Amino acid sequence: MKGATLTGTTATRFSPVRLAIYEKLLDRSTAEWTVATLTESLPSHIRRDSVRSTLYVLLAYDLMNQVRGHSALTVRLTPHGAAVLRPLVDAWRAR
């Protein structure tokens, strides 16, 4: 979906779970994450399936890059991804 707009997509629809995931990604924007490591860093009510599906959506919109050389899916937020998610998270926090 390279070059696709995020407006009105799942990635931009507010949910408390999505907010927590995006906040963690932005808090450590240069970190490499697996589904497991990101899930473990979040509140315990956030399920691994929710983390996995969110990461795949962000990958589909090129907001994250896959880090090669790992057996488990490992991703990192791109600078563009941080620039897109930061105002979205700010707007959600202002609600």
- 45-79 in b/e burial notation, b at 16+ Cβ within 10 A? ebeeebbbebbebbbebebbbeeeeeeeebbbbee
pLDDT score of 1: 52
Residue 4 pLDDT > 60 = no
pLDDT score of 74: 97
Query: Do the beta carbons of residue 54 and residue 75 sit within 8 Å?
Result: no
Query: Do the beta carbons of residue 70 and residue 34 sit within 8 Å?
Result: yes
Residue 18 and residue 24: Cα distance in Å, rounded?
Answer: 10
pLDDT score of 5: 64
Domains of the chain: 32-93 (1.10.10.10)
Rounded average pLDDT over 69-90: 95
pLDDT digits (tens, 9 = 90+) for 37-72: 999 999 999 999 999 999 999 999 999 999 999 899
Instruction: Give the three-class secondary structure for 59.
Output: helix
pLDDT score of 2: 53
